[in-house]
Amino acid sequence: MKGLCLWLALLTCLMVKVYGKIFRRCELASVMRRWGMEGHEGYTLDDWVCLAYYASGFNTAKVTHNIDGTSEYGLFQINSRSWCADHHSTSRNLCSLSCRDLVGDEIIDDIICVKRAVAGPDGLEAWDGWRNHCRGKNLHYWTATCKL
């Protein structure tokens, strides 16, 4: 019986899919630059890296559940009310994707969606993390030591 329990525990561990990634600062800056984030909607690459840090800690698998029944997903903590479908809350799904697509290690869906979201009237002001920690600050240090 002990052997069977050990075998089942091992099998369960092997079946669990590793999902998500925690980026290093310069690695993320490089990916964002490659996907055209520098200067997008007037925001610097430093703005975007700062946002990602304060939104998710560079963790693509982060999910935050809000008291209003919505959730925020992925690197930029994109909210399910407007931007993605999570099948738990009513969504306009303006990015035409499942919220689960925002929590993997591939971030192109996140980038495409955040570009759409930031094009709205509030821009990055819609993110508390950016407004409270990045707006109006000298952000040069976010990418200054990166080889971009």
Burial 120-139 (b: 16+ CB within 10 A, else e): eeebbeebebbeeebbeeeb
For residue 15, the model assigns a pLDDT of 38
For residue 83, pLDDT over 90 is answered with yes
Q: What is the pLDDT of residue 87?
A: 84
Fold adopted by 23-142? Lysozyme (1.10.530)
Helices (H) and strands (E) in the chain, counts: 5, 3
Whether residue 2 has pLDDT greater than 90: no
The domain segmentation of the chain, as residue ranges, is 23-142
User: Tens digit of pLDDT for each residue in 84-117?
Assistant: 999 887 889 999 999 999 999 999 999 999 999 9
**What is the reported pLDDT for 110?**
98
Contacts of 3 (CB under 8 A, 6+ apart): none
pLDDT at 12 over 90: no
Tell me what the mean pLDDT of segment 132-144 comes to.
Answer: 97
- Residue, of 93 and 10, whose pLDDT is higher: 93
Residue 16's pLDDT band, with cuts at 50, 70 and 90, is very low
Q: Report the alpha-carbon distance of residue 49 to residue 2 in Å, rounded.
A: 49
| Residue 137 identity | K
Quick: pLDDT tens for 34-80: 999 999 999 999 999 999 999 999 999 999 999 999 999 999 999 99
